[in-house]
Structure 1
Amino acid sequence: MPHRSRLAGFIIDCQTDDLDAAASFWSQALGVTIADPHAGDDTVEYQQFGDTRDDLHIEVQKVDHPSRVHLDIEADDIDAEATRLETLGARKIAFVKRWWVMEAPTGQRFCVVRMKHPERGTPAKQWD
């Protein structure tokens, strides 16, 4: 099934009790603003950055696992994209709320999320 996907951005996973301090550090380190300090929902805490190059989505997320950085791939059909990535050797780890957590053949975790603004940023790649 044809679908489109592209790199959405990076999520900075922080195992911390002070997400404000973590977001402040990364905002200053990357030279970007905190666009939405309450970007999460009732179960997850995020702070989203603004002023990013090419509208790249970058946010800080409070997590229980060790701190790391992971990337998100956005697609207009997340199931088709997850299947495409499985054919390349990735594996599905879990479906969480609205996205797939995947693992690359080399062990890195990443997520496949719904495309939010297809008209902005780098054009998505069409897959057949």
Structure 2
Amino acid sequence: MTHRSRLAGFIIDSQIDDLPAASAFWSQALGLKVVSADDGGLGIYDKFEEGPGGLHIEVQKVSHPSRVHLDIEADDVEAEAARLEKLGAKRIECVRGRWWVMEAPTGHRFCIVPMDEGSARGEANAWD
């Protein structure tokens, strides 16, 4: 069965105690406003306005070392995870039953998240 996916954006994983300070820095560095402080009410995400090309960008408070990770959005998260496993990626963790943290063969972590059909990110790739 065919499914679709595309680059959704990136998450700035930050091993910090002060999420608002981290978000203030990245807001100024990127020239983007925080539009949803404490997005989701968990105290770990600050969401920015859409980036270039409609990219989704957040600062995320994490316990692991700071890094940047990509999000790939898919209209069928399970099918996309299976497709990427065939390419050599491995599943690390299913988060809240909604998305997968994956690891590429290169060691980079990324997430597969549900598709935002209303974004301005352009056409998604179709996969069999």
**TM-score class normalised by the smaller sequence:** over 0.9
| SS of equivalent to 1:40 | helix
Following superposition, the deviation at residue 51 of structure 1 comes to 4.4
Aligned positions, number: 127
Separation of aligned partners in 2, 1:70 and 1:111 = 8
Structure-2 change in CA distance of 1:111 and 1:76 (3 Å): same
Q: Which AA in structure 2 matches 1:87?
A: K
| SS of equivalent to 2:65 | coil
- Alignment partner of 1:67 is 2:66: yes
Q: List structure 1 runs of 4+ shifted beyond 4 angstroms.
A: none
The equivalent residue for 1:107 is: 107
Separation of aligned partners in 1, 2:36 and 2:115 = 19
The equivalent residue for 1:8 is: 8
5+ unaligned residues in a row in structure 1: which ranges? none
Separation of aligned partners in 1, 2:9 and 2:111 = 10
Following superposition, the deviation at residue 119 of structure 1 comes to 5.3
RMSD: 1.3
The equivalent residue for 1:58 is: 57
| SS of equivalent to 1:93 | strand
Give the TM-score of the pair, scaled to structure 2: 0.94
> Are 1:14 and 1:63, in contact at CA under 8 Å, matched by a contact in 2?
yes
1:87-110 per-position Cα deviation (integer Å, ceiling 9, x unaligned): 111011111111111000010010
Separation of aligned partners in 2, 1:40 and 1:65 = 20
Q: Quick one: percent identity of the two aligned structures? A: 61
Give the TM-score of the pair, scaled to structure 1: 0.94
The equivalent residue for 1:45 is: 44
Separation of aligned partners in 1, 2:112 and 2:45 = 17
